[in-house]
Structure 1
Amino acid sequence: MKHTGDYYEQLAIDYLTAQGLSLVTRHFRKGHWEIDLIMKEQDTLVFVEVKYRSQKDFGGAEYALSQAQISRLRRTAQYYLQTQQLKEHQTACRFDLLAVDGQGSEQRISWLKNAF
């Protein structure tokens, strides 16, 4: 499973860098919580959650985030800002979702800016 996650995270990095973002770090952890990617778009820090689903059942990857996961991502992002000595209210940041659905030639990437 980790190998699959790494593959789609690399796919996300490649896609987002082609869109002009730059990678800051991947797999930022606070205990058991993790932010998949932290990117930068101009002066904005972008916390990216990468989701993959082989099929669009139940809405696909775009609907794979729970409220509990969103809360954990927000708390982990706050912790990241603290570790970098950045003030939360003075640092431009957003939360994006990069959703990958399907397999092979049927694969579709959706980049949802400000997803939550």
Structure 2
Amino acid sequence: MTPALREVMLAAEAAGALAGPEVRTGSAEHPVCGDRCEVDCRLEGTTIAAVAWRAEGCPATMAVAAALHGAVCGEDAAAAGAALAQRIATLGGLAAVERHALALVQRALAEAAGA
């Protein structure tokens, strides 16, 4: 994990849950390693207005989940997965053995955002 991604993980921005009837939740679990992620989204039209996350697993999963807020708030729901991938790349990317974390969080995000 890159130092920049580690800093994002340790800051854990937007960790927790969103409340309210308009909040949509998505979840994903890795079938082999057991990493899990839940993502809450509040949309304004098709734009992600707020996001929160809860994750368990390897440091890469925690780091990718922690990068959600900075990557997807203000983005169109359909583009959110790509925005998250771009943010991870900007932070130095993931090693081959860590890439499952991005796919996992993207699945939970897509379910929550309805994308």
TM-score by length of 2: 0.35
Higher strand share: 1
Higher helix share: 2
Larger Rg: 1
